[in-house]
Amino acid sequence: MFKKLIMASMLIALPLLAVESTGVVTKVSDGSTLHMIIGQSEETIRILYIEVPEKFSSAKLNRDAKKLGIPAKDVQELGKLASDYASKFFKKGEKVIIESDKKDQGGRILAIVTKNGADYSSQMIEDGFACINKKAAYPGELEKALKKAKEEKKGLWAINYDVMNKLCR
């Protein structure tokens, strides 16, 4: 009986430990954070490889505004646009593929998320609504997508090129 209980609990946890899982979107928090059901659990997903302007008031928002030399409300406006982009990309109830094997200190699953074969991180950068998070290794093709968005002044690059240029360093 004990062995069956252990096996059952392992099966319930399996979707969180698997390299690839299917999730159902329940909410878009901002441009880089989603909430979804994976297996039996409601999880928070932090999208890998991207950095977006902050949408919510926070110490990070204040640090970013100071670093960028602009008012925090201006950073938040860009953050809201990035969030709007995410809300158009992901719809509540939609199934997506999550590739992950780790969580951050806050318990969020760090993941690559794809929908209908489209990698959200690549799309977000290519359409000009995110920068590359260069704190860790990332796929090289993201550099090409960022360069293209910058050159073509797509998304947030069209709205505030100077801020995006500073943010994406």
107 in Cβ contact with 41 (< 8 Å): no
pTM score: 0.85
42 in Cβ contact with 31 (< 8 Å): no
Phi then psi for residue 137, to 5 deg, are -60, 145
Q: How many domains does the chain have?
A: 1
Task: Give the start-end residues of each E strand in 39-137.
Answer: 41-47, 50-51, 95-103, 109-115, 118-119, 131-132
Phi then psi for residue 71, to 5 deg, are -60, 145
pLDDT digit string, tens, across residues 15-27: 444 479 999 999 9
Query: For the chain, what is the mean pLDDT?
Result: 90
pLDDT digit string, tens, across residues 34-92: 999 999 999 999 999 999 999 999 999 999 999 999 999 999 999 999 999 999 999 99
CATH number, domain with residue 88:
2.40.50.90
Range of the domain at 104: 2-167
pLDDT of residue 19: 72
| 3-state SS, residue 138 | coil
